[in-house]
């Protein structure tokens, strides 16, 4: 029995991504046709029943977000797709955009109809610029076929989508920074509240969802929220796209049902990860993204769903699963993460701007025998705590999470080069 289940990736690699006919032939736009005969409340109720948790990393209930926006007065309302997939080790949104972009488009049009919106934007990260011509063709083909633009399918409903390109800033993956970027402002996070559903793009009510979240909507509407929920876990319905990377044999994107497989199965099953490459031994796994905690071999039997991963102190996050074998020096790995966050810090707040490079400095000194003492490790811990409590946004809040989780798993590697007289 297959460990994978293709809902979002149905047709990926089998049909031409810009062909409306090919997408329609595999059931595409059935959900949109059904949605156009439903009320906004009925659509939102199906999304709520599905228990779709946001696939961009934060896992906020999509149904709750949609319900909130539905009851916000004021027009126009904007529909925004966050395709700024900047998390290292994460490439599943790219897979959707490259192979089944019309499923994303269909989800956005359903959202547009639900909220009476006229305009939507796909915010595409700069590194995905090569997909821009294809996406423009996809949008134009959808317009010609009557699924986008004026008078969609003869219903009198108008909704169109534009593409906004990022400039390569990781911080613009944060929803409010993304909106600032679309508006032509510096891509830095906003103070919240007010929430984006109330004061979003151009100060108007706005829905921002991830690529994978929008791409899940057609299945929910076509087959029903209960059906979608039953595929996954009782607390989080549907499938999840996972990105296997690192020292695993079968690196790539796999779509699996939530709550049916363990981390061990995902990494070692021949249909999925296929085990550790070159006969190596797993040292740790880093699921969820660079701002999430590391897991050790004794956590591999954790069921891969939002509830059980959280209980184990792990995250599903963006769907990244980075596998590292025992050849990897832990402190080197952590320092590379720290350098990434230091480079991507937007400079808006002191705890993150100053804290990220300071963490890297301490970690690099840990690589040299005798450079640091026990008190320095205490200082490093205090810096991490300050960053997590006082940073303005999620970048600074989570930048040291890998390090603090690694301390619990591999304390001896942190202390290996600490001055001997201070260890006593």
For the chain, what are the domain ranges?
20-231, 239-325, 330-423
Residues listed for the chain? 424
Q: Could you read off the pLDDT of 125-145 as tens digits, one per residue? A: 999 999 999 999 999 999 999
Q: How confident is the model at residue 419 (pLDDT cuts 50, 70, 90)?
A: confident
Exposure b/e, 84-105, CB count within 10 A at least 16 = b: bbbbbbbbbbbbbbbbbbbbbb
Do 239-325 and 20-231 have the same topology in CATH? no
Distance CA 415, CA 373 (A): 9
CATH number corresponding to 20-231? 3.40.50.11540
Q: Which CATH architecture has domain 239-325?
A: Roll (3.10)
pLDDT of the residue at 95: 97
Q: Average pLDDT, stretch 301-316?
A: 97
Whether 422 shows a pLDDT value over 80: the answer reads: no
| Residue 197 neighbours by CB distance under 10 Å | 20
Q: How confident is the model at residue 424 (pLDDT cuts 50, 70, 90)?
A: very low
Would you state the torsion angle of the CA atoms of residues 107, 109, 111, 117, taken in this order, to the nearest 10 degrees? 160
pLDDT of the residue at 1: 60
Q: Two tokens at 210?
A: 């991830």
**CA Rg value for the chain:** 22
H-helix or E-strand spanning residue 141: helix 132-144
Q: Looking at 177-181, 226-230, 255-259, 419-423, which range is the least confident one? A: 419-423
Q: Two tokens at 22?
A: 């090919």
pLDDT of the residue at 420: 63
CATH number corresponding to 330-423? 1.20.1440.230
Whether 79 shows a pLDDT value over 50: the answer reads: yes
Q: What is the DSSP string of 29-90?
A: THHHHHHTTS-HHHHHHHHHHHTPBPTTTT--BHHHHHHHHHT---S--EEEEEE---STT-
Q: Two tokens at 218?
A: 């057609």
Q: Could you read off the pLDDT of 83-100 as tens digits, one per residue? A: 999 999 999 999 999 999
Would you state the torsion angle of the CA atoms of residues 17, 167, 214, 236, taken in this order, to the nearest 10 degrees? 120
pLDDT of the residue at 405: 96
Residues in contact with 329: Cβ distance below 8 Å, sequence separation at least 6, in sequence order: 367, 413
Q: Could you read off the pLDDT of 313-365 as tens digits, one per residue? A: 999 999 999 999 999 999 999 999 999 999 999 999 999 999 999 999 999 99
Mean pLDDT score across all residues of the chain = 96
Q: How confident is the model at residue 74 (pLDDT cuts 50, 70, 90)?
A: confident
Q: Average pLDDT, stretch 306-318?
A: 96
DSSP state of 127: G
């Amino acid at each position: 029995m297959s460990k994978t289940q293709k809902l979002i990736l149905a047709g990926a690699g089998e049909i031409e991504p810009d062909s409306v006919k090919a997408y329609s032939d595999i059931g595409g736009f059935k959900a949109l046709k059904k949605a156009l005969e439903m009320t906004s409340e009925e659509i939102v109720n199906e999304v709520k029943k599905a228990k779709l948790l946001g696939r961009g990393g934060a896992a906020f209930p999509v149904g709750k977000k949609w319900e909130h926006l539905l009851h916000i007065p004021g027009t126009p309302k904007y529909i925004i797709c966050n395709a700024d997939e900047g998390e290292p080790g994460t490439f599943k949104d790219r897979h959707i955009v490259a192979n089944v972009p019309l499923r994303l488009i269909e989800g956005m049009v359903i959202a547009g109809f639900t909220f009476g919106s006229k305009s939507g934007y796909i915010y595409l990260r700069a590194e995905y610029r090569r997909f821009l011509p294809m996406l423009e063709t996809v949008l134009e083909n959808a317009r010609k076929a009557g699924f986008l633009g004026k008078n969609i399918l003869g219903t009198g409903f108008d909704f169109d989508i534009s593409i906004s390109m990022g400039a390569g800033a990781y911080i613009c993956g944060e929803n409010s920074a993304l909106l600032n970027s679309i508006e032509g402002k510096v891509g830095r996070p906003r103070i919240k509240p007010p929430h984006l559903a109330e004061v979003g793009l151009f100060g108007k009510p706005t829905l921002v969802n991830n690529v994978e979240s929008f791409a899940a909507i057609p299945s929910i509407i076509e087959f029903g929220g209960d059906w979608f929920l039953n595929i996954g876990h009782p607390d989080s319905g549907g499938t999840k796209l996972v990105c296997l990377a690192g020292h695993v044999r079968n690196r790539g994107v796999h779509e699996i049902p939530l709550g049916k497989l363990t981390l061990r199965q995902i990494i070692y099953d021949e249909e999925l990860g296929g085990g550790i490459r070159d006969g190596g031994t797993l040292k740790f796994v880093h699921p969820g993204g660079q701002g999430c905690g590391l897991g050790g071999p004794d956590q591999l039997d954790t069921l891969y769903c939002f509830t059980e991963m959280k209980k184990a102190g792990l995250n599903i996050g963006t769907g990244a699963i980075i596998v590292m074998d025992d050849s990897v020096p832990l402190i080197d790995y952590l320092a590379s993460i720290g350098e990434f966050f230091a480079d991507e810090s937007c400079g808006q707040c002191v705890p993150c701007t100053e804290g990220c490079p300071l963490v890297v400095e301490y970690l690099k000194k840990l690589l040299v025998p005798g450079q640091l003492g026990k008190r320095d490790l205490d200082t490093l811990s205090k810096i991490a705590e300050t960053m997590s409590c006082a940073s303005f946004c999620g970048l600074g809040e989570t930048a040291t999470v890998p390090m603090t989780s690694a301390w619990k798993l591999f304390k001896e590697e942190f202390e290996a080069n600490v001055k001997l007289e201070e260890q006593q």
